[in-house]
Amino acid sequence: MGVTKTTLFTKEQNEIASLAKAFGHPARVAIIQQLLKSNTCINSGLVKELGLAQATISQHLRELKEMGIIIGNIEGVSISYCINPAKWTAMQELFNNFFQQFSCESDNCC
């Protein structure tokens, strides 16, 4: 398998690809949806709500946190997670600009 040559692509292209990975697994989508729905910080409630193992949820939370999509606050012996509002807004703008590049006046653009 070859090495990915990310230097061949723009910063924006690399960022879109990286962030799109967050939506590349249904568990991460479900976690994001649950955090958006609750509109507050959540900790152990994700296991009960999603029905996944704690280890599985922890792995996906770690990936989302590394991407900056969520942030975690330490509360006693647990960590509560919520959507990172600044990153969420930046992601919306990035993807909106990306999707708005397409313009087709008819049903058949080819």
Tens of pLDDT along 42-91?
Answer: 777 788 888 899 899 989 999 999 999 999 887 777 788 999 999 999 99
Query: H/E element holding 81?
Result: strand 78-83
pLDDT score of 108 more than 90: no
- 9: pLDDT confidence band, cut at 50, 70 and 90? very high
- 1: pLDDT confidence band, cut at 50, 70 and 90? very low
| 65, two tokens | 């946190």
Q: CA 65 to CA 77: how far, in whole Å?
A: 18
**pLDDT score recorded for residue 45:** 79
CATH for 10-97 is 1.10.10.10
The ranges assigned to domains in the chain are 10-97
Residue 68 falls in which region: left (phi positive, over 0), alpha (psi -120 to 50) or beta: left
Q: CA 30 to CA 57: how far, in whole Å?
A: 10
Rounded to the nearest integer, the mean pLDDT of the chain is 87
Q: Which one is predicted more confidently, 107 or 67? A: 67
